[in-house]
Amino acid sequence: MIDAVPPSAWRRGFVTLLRLLGALLIALAAQPAQAHLTPNSEIRLDLAPGAIVADVVVPQSEFGYATNLPTDNSPQSLAAARDYLLKNFAITAPDGRRWRVRADRVAFETIIGPPDFHATLTLMPPAGASDRRFRLDWHVITTEVPTHFALLVVGGDLAGGVKGERELLGALTAARPTILVNRGSASFTGLFGNAFLLGARHIAEGYDHLLFLLALLLPAPLIARAGRWAEPRPARETFRHLAMIVTAFTLGHSLTLIAAALFGARLPAPPVEAGIALSVLISAIHAARPIFPGREHYVAAGFGLVHGLAFATTIANFGLGTGTRLTAILGFNIGIEAVQLAVVLAALPLLLLLPRWRNGTRLRLVLAALTGLAAIVWLVERIGAL
């Protein structure tokens, strides 16, 4: 039989362990401090016909250590950082001709975790060269810090396929600073199909867009009287009213989508997202008590313009050529409309039967309240991000 260990022995052992850990920490602290950390950089490529957008992220600590350049976000430091990046980064066609590299934005900023040097580049192939086959050379930080490396990934390839996860192409190091990229061929048919899938997925995941439309349609089968929703509309008039609302919303977001893609119309994302939340809240209130009866299609068109600006952030990299942009926009928009139409058709029986159910009014008010609650939560979150 094994004797129990006395409590005093446990205490002595615990104290001894703490002393050992303390000695270890002191020994580690006495060692020379490491000159720098070794997080990696990342280059994310978003491919579209005619151009590639590269999103470059370099740890600020590594950047400052390797270059001895200031990282204070002053115009001088940003200009020096941009020049360093462009001198140590190159992309060439298979025949050796250099692509044109344009730095659209550079900044020292914190996105997630420690601060980074962040740059957005537009890469354009020379005349006649493929926009899907190239050689990428990378010497940023890796020349000065041989242990550093940069991951090259494809974040999006609209013409070659829409994928749910990023595709890793390889790691660029001091010993291996070059990667040959061949993304194969792409066609306008493939571009249209992939843009369609992208649009369908975007609206299917855009619950705020769908809630706005559904809340606006909820009272459409009713006629307003004395500040309340009263008796049901005739069936033919209801179908006409529903069609006008859906068509107006489609025209609204299509206009701003085209304006953004072809003419660069943009608004910062936070106010656009807040505007969408506000549109959901207004449509929810209207579903409970009529605010603009008979004018829902005007409201759908007006707020559709705002919703289109949110869609525009997704299609910012649809290529440079007018033909490719129009093909992609058409596919993207039809994908949005296909899912939107499917959702409306699925909800149509409920919309038509709700006014005729004994508890239809209560259910409509509950649905309006839940939609309004979701809209308030979104609105508070998005105003906080402004």
pLDDT of residue 313: 66
As a whole-number percent, the residues of the chain with pLDDT over 70 amount to: 83
Token duo for residue 178: 């070059």
Angstrom distance (rounded) from CA 13 to CA 18: 9
Token duo for residue 57: 């992220």
Per-residue pLDDT tens for 150-185? 999 988 777 776 554 578 889 999 999 999 999 887
The amino acid sitting at 242 is L
Token duo for residue 35: 């000159």
Is residue 3 packed enough to be buried (19+ CB in 10 Å), middle (13-18) or exposed (0-12)? exposed
| SS3 call for 177 | coil
Give the residue carrying structure tokens 């005739």: 234
Token duo for residue 383: 């105003």
The strand pairing partners of 138, in sequence order, are: 89
pTM: 0.65
| SS3 call for 150 | strand
Largest CA distance in the chain: 91
Angstrom distance (rounded) from CA 241 to CA 247: 10
Per-residue pLDDT tens for 311-347? 776 665 555 566 667 777 888 889 999 999 999 999 9
pLDDT of residue 97: 96
Domain boundaries, the chain: 41-186, 189-384
Per-residue pLDDT tens for 342-370? 999 999 888 888 888 888 899 999 999 99
The strand pairing partners of 122, in sequence order, are: 53, 102
With b for 16 or more beta-carbon neighbours within 10 A and e for fewer, the 271-295 pattern comes to: ebbbbbbbbbbbbbbbbbebeebee
Residues of the chain with pLDDT under 50: 1-5, 7, 9-11, 13-38, 164
Helix axes 322-353, 188-204, angle to 10 degrees: 40
Vertex 284, ends 283 and 286: CA angle to 5°? 65
Angstrom distance (rounded) from CA 5 to CA 236: 88
